[in-house]
């Protein structure tokens, strides 16, 4: 391996390691940003932080960290408390009081969090 290539490879690795110290990387997201990019915003609040810790995607809002998939539930509670209700599905299903109320699918938020893995 040539010296310039070694320097480039080492520099790239150092930059990646610095941005993911301790296996953690995160970023701010907002409903406005999602709307402008054609993605669905699933949260009840307008802004949150997403990230990934050792391959486990999460969302942090109101000082609490929530899991965005089944594997991440081994470390944090699932995001149900902060997911918006899916009004379109609720109109179709018409759940009774006390029954489960469908939530907006957090897939777009999950994909954003996975970019930090």
Half-sphere exposure for 112 (CA within 13 Å, toward CB): 23
Q: pLDDT per residue over 3-12, tens digit each?
A: 444 443 333 3
Q: pLDDT per residue over 41-91, tens digit each?
A: 999 999 999 999 999 999 999 999 999 999 999 999 999 999 999 999 999
Residue 66: per-residue pLDDT: 98
Q: pLDDT per residue over 9-32, tens digit each?
A: 333 333 333 333 334 447 999 999
- Model confidence at 100: pLDDT above 80: yes
Residue 112 has φ and ψ, to the nearest 5°, of -65, -45
Would the pTM count as exceeding 0.95?
no
């Amino acid at each position: 391996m040539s010296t310039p290539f070694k320097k480039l490879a080492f520099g790239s690795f150092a930059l990646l390691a610095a941005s993911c110290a301790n296996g953690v990387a995160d970023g701010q997201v907002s409903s406005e940003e999602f709307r402008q990019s054609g993605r669905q915003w699933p949260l009840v609040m307008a802004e949150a932080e997403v990230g990934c810790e050792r391959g486990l995607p999460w969302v942090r809002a109101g000082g609490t960290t929530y899991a965005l998939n089944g594997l991440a539930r081994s470390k944090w509670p699932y995001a149900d408390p902060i997911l918006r209700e899916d009004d379109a599905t609720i109109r179709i299903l018409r759940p009774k009081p006390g029954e489960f109320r469908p939530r907006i699918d957090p897939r777009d938020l999950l994909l954003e969090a996975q970019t930090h893995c």
